[in-house]
Amino acid sequence: MHNLDPAQLKAWIKQQALDLGFADCVIARPDAQAELARFKEYLKRGYHGDMKYLEENLEKRADPTLLVPGTKSIICVRMDYLVESPRPRHVPDAPNQAIIARYARGRDYHKTLRGRLKTLASQIKAKVGEFESRPFADSAPIFEKSLAENAGMGWTGKHTLLIQRQSGSFFVLGELFSSLELPFDSPATAHCGSCSACIDICPTQAIVEPYMLDARKCIAYLTIEYKGIIPEELRQGIGNRVFGCDDCQLICPWNRYAKKTSIEDFHPRHGLDQVSLLDLWHWDESTFLSNTEGSPIRRTGFQSFMRNIAIGLGNAPFSARILDALRQARDGHDEVVQVHIDWAIQQQQAKAAILS
């Protein structure tokens, strides 16, 4: 192991990562101290909402060697997840369709990423002998965007997502903490300039200033993480987005370069790329559990998923079928869902009155 040239080993590791289906691989310094001040301000403002776990382990976030002792380098990877290239700078309008964020239409990416990172670690061990390593995919207190950015994978856009100049932002990140001493890659430069497209398009105005997101207004947070009654003033902005939101990415000019995935796991299952709100409304809990097995959508839970669909039905154009379906909602919905059903009925009735 000690006879191998570190630069050559780094190049070899990157090639193995590409061969495994990762779209990029960079070597990061295990140091994210520079991110801490901005993150503390984010927490101070309460922008993390109910995600109280973000308040914990700040020291480990800033110093990855506290999370995994002995870490000398972090192998950062990304995986593209687009199945189709979206129309540039365009947010489609399909009000009766249930919009699910593109990353969540197939298999849970956490498992896909971790599995391939473990394979990469095994390949490196076969090359260099034993070394300490641990894979992560959004599964530990890690400033993963900061690490990747500092190693040149891209820059943090004004919407707070990582953007890569040749590939846009439709990708997910993973890390392999390692005890290998590898040369670090250099930081990327930022290229958002004066563009404010993501800030302007956000349906709930969750990007309160460049590079600062108020999760309490963010549709991704509200439809996935948050389990309570969604504030009434935000419901119309949510529209028909029932799990996550891609609007700030769809409008970003850099995503005209977005690449399609080579990974089968990201391909939609159960028609989730073209399913109607009414189709999902008729799912019972057993159907939900069956159709979301191995899917990120499981994270929201059945009741919250129904809550989100009820909002979508309320926001849809008037339809007698929708109104009947809401009125005939099955028993078994909890009080939170019922609040949103009642609101959706009121919305549909108001639209009917305008038409009559």
The string of pLDDT tens digits covering residues 242-279 is: 999 999 999 999 999 999 999 999 999 999 999 999 99
Q: How far is CA 314 from the centre of its chain?
A: 25
pLDDT for 4 equals 80
CA 97 – CA 105 distance, rounded (Å): 14
For the segment 231-240, the average pLDDT, to the nearest whole number, is 98
Q: Can you list the alpha helix ranges (DSSP code H) found in 193-334?
A: 197-201, 219-220, 232-238, 247-250, 277-281, 285-291, 302-315, 320-327
For the segment 199-223, the average pLDDT, to the nearest whole number, is 98
61 marked as binding residue: yes
CA 148 – CA 62 distance, rounded (Å): 14
* Domain ranges (residues) in the chain: 6-275, 276-355
Catalytic residue among 24, 50, 63, 138: 138
76 marked as binding residue: no
195 marked as binding residue: yes
The question of whether 138 is a catalytic residue gets the answer: yes
CA 275 – CA 272 distance, rounded (Å): 5
252 marked as binding residue: yes
pLDDT band at residue 190 under the 50/70/90 scheme = very high
Is a pLDDT exceeding 80 seen at residue 3?
A: no
For the segment 57-70, the average pLDDT, to the nearest whole number, is 98
Is a pLDDT exceeding 60 seen at residue 2?
A: no
Other beta carbons within 10 Å of 121: 19
Is a pLDDT exceeding 80 seen at residue 332?
A: no
pLDDT band at residue 53 under the 50/70/90 scheme = very high
173 marked as binding residue: yes
pLDDT for 139 equals 87
For the segment 171-180, the average pLDDT, to the nearest whole number, is 98
% of the chain beyond a pLDDT of 90: 96
For the segment 227-249, the average pLDDT, to the nearest whole number, is 98
CA 94 – CA 83 distance, rounded (Å): 19
The string of pLDDT tens digits covering residues 318-331 is: 999 999 999 998 66
For the segment 153-179, the average pLDDT, to the nearest whole number, is 98
4 marked as binding residue: no
